[in-house]
């Protein structure tokens, strides 16, 4: 009997770091794009390039949540 | 979390025929009670961070979590209709064993709640069942290697994995947003936090409500109330979802307080990183079929968010107490389970099961009364963990801890000291008077000599 399922554990750690640390980082990039230093120009508006970047990041995070809900609903638990 | 489709349900052949509808009712009620404690014990896993960082008001948070638990219970209907598969010999699991196991799980859940310790509900249930099996048929009924590999070792691994993931996440996030204003960080990460916490709640509803559904289904099959190949009746799904949601809404405020305030002082960035790490690790672990306890993962993630944040301090003493309680979860619940089983068989017949149920109600009532002495609720859940913050108080506290005699002043000593002080004051007064007199006399003498 194998006491630790090393394969599964390695997957959990690897993908866990990729997703569990990657998504917050992506979100943080979005936040920095919208509110970081230099985000607002002289007219007090955020440059469109930054807005697009931010919402791409937030969109990926939201999509990940959607995917997770599908995973739960599909009985993957 | 080890999901087994409902078609795989094989009621153990030795399960006694239950023709007494009242006994069936007792087992169903106990399973629902376990579901309730499961809900209110685990609210903190999802919502403690959001409450601590004020992303959500406490009441809002438990309401959201309860609703999502409820939705989660309906979300997927692949029911894990087996309990403790691969951990105990399935042929020994009779209705009495299940009842004793449930009582063991409930009592351990309530005790850990009383002390505000987050502890895994599924481990408590497994522990209760293992104890009951030990009492029923001795150590041969327990598959020890299964117990070690599926319960004990994961309990040690889960927090380590979660600490790692959350620490890395927090470190990266805080680095990226280091020069963003705190106000902007808070408003935006608030939403990230709510999203990830909701996901944890949903996953909890899907996973844990179905354990109780499975137990009730087994009891119904054993009682002959439904055919052996039956799916889960709708009223079972509904009542399990409701029991868990009610438990969640009641809010295990004691556990929430420990998780949110006791381990790390959380900011919204840390909360978001911690909760995302929890969601990712929980979902991945169930995907790879290596079930890690939600509680252990959530606690580990919160600790990790303190490890990864520069300048944050983690109260390892509180964490250590938790780890210790996780190690004794299975044996303690097993002890209660075994005692209940012995009580059940000592009384004998269906009456034994009623007695066990009665004992459960009494014990639960006592624990509830004990909790009223120092209640924790939505109003004081976010109070500071250490009310004494100034250094002087710490010094005084440490002195009082090391040598209480130093700090104590006896009344007699106090009186004597006051008398001495008064005497001293009088003496000083007299001396001052004498000096003043002398000066006066000298001045007069000088006057006289000058006049001559």
| Residues of B with Cβ-Cβ distance to A22 under 8 angstroms | 169
Residue B62 CB neighbours (<10 A): 29
| Residues of A with Cβ-Cβ distance to B288 under 8 angstroms | 5, 8, 11-12
From the centroid of its chain, how far is CA B407? 35
Is residue A1 assigned to a domain?
no
∠ Cα B287 B151 B215 (to 5°) = 75
| Residues of A with Cβ-Cβ distance to B289 under 8 angstroms | 8
- Mean pLDDT score of chain B, rounded to an integer? 84
Q: How far apart are CA B275 and CA B29, in angstroms?
A: 33
Query: Does the distance separating the beta carbons of A4 and B192 come in below 8 Å?
Result: no
| Residues of A with Cβ-Cβ distance to B188 under 8 angstroms | 30-31, 34-35
**Which residue from A minimizes the CA distance to B68?**
A69
| Residues of B with Cβ-Cβ distance to A21 under 8 angstroms | 165-166, 168-169, 172, 273, 277
**Which residue from A minimizes the CA distance to B2?**
A77
Query: Does the distance separating the beta carbons of A71 and B176 come in below 8 Å?
Result: no
> Where do the structural domains in chain B lie, given as residue ranges?
6-371, 409-451
Residue B117 CB neighbours (<10 A): 23
Residue B244, pLDDT score: 92
pLDDT tens digits, one per residue of B440-452: 888 888 888 877 7
Enter the tokens of residue B57.
Answer: 């008001």
Residue B5, pLDDT score: 39
Q: Is B180 on the interface with A (CB under 8 A)?
A: yes
What are the backbone dihedrals phi and psi of residue B142, each rounded to the nearest 5 degrees, phi first? -100, 130
- Type and span of the H or E element at B360: helix B349-371
Q: How far apart are CA B360 and CA A27, in angstroms?
A: 47
Domain interval for residue A18 = 7-73
CB B23 within 8 A of CB B350: yes
CA-based nearest residue to B37, from B92, B99, B113, B90: B113
Minimal C-alpha gap between B230 and chain A (Å): 18
pLDDT tens digits, one per residue of B191-238: 999 999 999 999 888 888 888 888 888 888 877 788 877 778 889 999
Q: What does DSSP assign to residue B140?
A: G
3-state secondary structure of B146: helix
Tell whether the model's pLDDT for residue B15 goes beyond 70: no
Q: Is A40 on the interface with B (CB under 8 A)?
A: no
Q: Is A67 on the interface with B (CB under 8 A)?
A: no
The domain tally of chain A equals: 1
pLDDT tens digits, one per residue of B326-342: 989 999 999 999 999 99
Q: Which residue has the tokens 């509830």?
A: B368
HSE at residue B211, side-chain half, CA atoms within 13 A, is 30
Is residue A60 assigned to a domain?
yes
CA distances from B51 to B303, B322, B401 (A): 16, 20, 33
Is residue A46 assigned to a domain?
yes
Is residue A2 assigned to a domain?
no
Residue B396, pLDDT score: 54
- Name the residue facing B177 among A19, A23, A28 (closest C-beta): A28
CB B62 within 8 A of CB B47: yes
pLDDT tens digits, one per residue of B54-94: 999 999 999 999 999 999 888 876 655 556 667 888 777 78
**Whole-complex ipTM:** 0.92
CB < 8 Å from A in window 282-321 of B: 283-290, 292
Q: Is A6 on the interface with B (CB under 8 A)?
A: no
- Type and span of the H or E element at B31: helix B21-52
**Which residue from A minimizes the CA distance to B150?**
A3
């Amino acid at each position: 009997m194998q006491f630790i399922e090393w394969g599964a554990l390695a997957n959990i750690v690897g993908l866990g770091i990729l997703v569990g640390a990657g998504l917050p980082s992506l979100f943080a990039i979005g936040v920095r794009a919208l509110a970081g230093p230099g985000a607002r120009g002289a007219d007090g508006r955020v440059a469109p390039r930054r807005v697009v970047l931010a919402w791409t990041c937030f969109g990926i995070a939201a999509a990940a949540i959607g995917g997770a809900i599908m995973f739960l609903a599909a009985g993957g638990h | 979390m080890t999901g087994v489709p409902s078609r795989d349900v094989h009621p153990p052949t030795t399960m006694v025929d239950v023709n007494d509808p009242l006994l069936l009712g007792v087992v169903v009620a106990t399973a629902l009670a376990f579901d309730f404690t499961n809900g209110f014990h685990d609210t903190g896993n999802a919502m403690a961070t959001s409450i601590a960082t004020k992303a959500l008001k406490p009441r809002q948070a438990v309401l959201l979590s309860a609703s999502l638990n409820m939705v989660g219970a309906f979300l997927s209907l692949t029911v894990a209709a087996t309990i403790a598969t691969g951990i105990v010999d399935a042929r020994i699991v009779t209705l009495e064993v299940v009842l004793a196991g449930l009582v063991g799980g409930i009592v351990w859940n309530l005790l850990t709640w009383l002390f505000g310790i987050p502890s895994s509900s599924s481990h408590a249930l497994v522990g209760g069942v293992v104890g009951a099996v030990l009492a029923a048929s001795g150590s041969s009924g327990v598959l020890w290697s299964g117990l070690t590999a599926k319960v004990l070792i994961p309990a040690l691994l889960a927090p380590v994995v979660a600490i790692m993931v959350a620490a890395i996440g927090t470190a990266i996030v805080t680095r990226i947003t280091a020069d963003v204003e705190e106000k902007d960080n808070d408003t935006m990460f608030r939403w990230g936090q709510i999203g990830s916490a909701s996901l944890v709640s949903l996953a909890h509803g899907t996973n844990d409500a179905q354990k109780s559904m499975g137990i009730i289904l087994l009891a119904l099959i054993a009682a002959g109330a439904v055919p052996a190949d039956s799916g889960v009746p709708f009223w079972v799904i509904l009542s399990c979802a409701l029991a868990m949601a009610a438990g969640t809404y009641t809010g295990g405020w004691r556990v929430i307080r420990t998780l949110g305030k006791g381990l790390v002082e959380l900011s919204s960035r840390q909360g978001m990183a911690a909760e995302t790490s929890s969601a990712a690790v929980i979902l991945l672990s169930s995907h790879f079929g290596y079930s890690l306890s939600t509680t252990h993962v959530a606690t580990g993630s919160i600790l990790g968010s303190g490890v990864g944040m520069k300048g944050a301090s983690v109260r390892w003493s509180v964490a250590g107490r938790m780890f210790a309680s996780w190690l004794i979860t299975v044996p303690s619940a097993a002890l209660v389970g075994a005692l209940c089983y012995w009580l059940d068989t000592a009384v004998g017949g269906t009456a034994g099961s009623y007695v066990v149920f009665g004992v459960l109600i009494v014990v639960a009532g006592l624990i509830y009364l004990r909790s009223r002495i120092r209640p924790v609720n939505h109003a004081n859940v976010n109070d500071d963990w250490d009310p004494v913050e100034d250094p002087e108080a710490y010094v005084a506290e440490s002195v009082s801890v090391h040598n209480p005699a130093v700090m104590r002043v006896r009344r007699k000593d106090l009186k004597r000291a006051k008398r001495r002080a008064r005497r001293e004051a009088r003496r000083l007064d007299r001396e001052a008077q004498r000096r003043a007199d002398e000066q006066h006399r000298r001045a007069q003498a000088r006057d006289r000599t000058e006049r001559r």
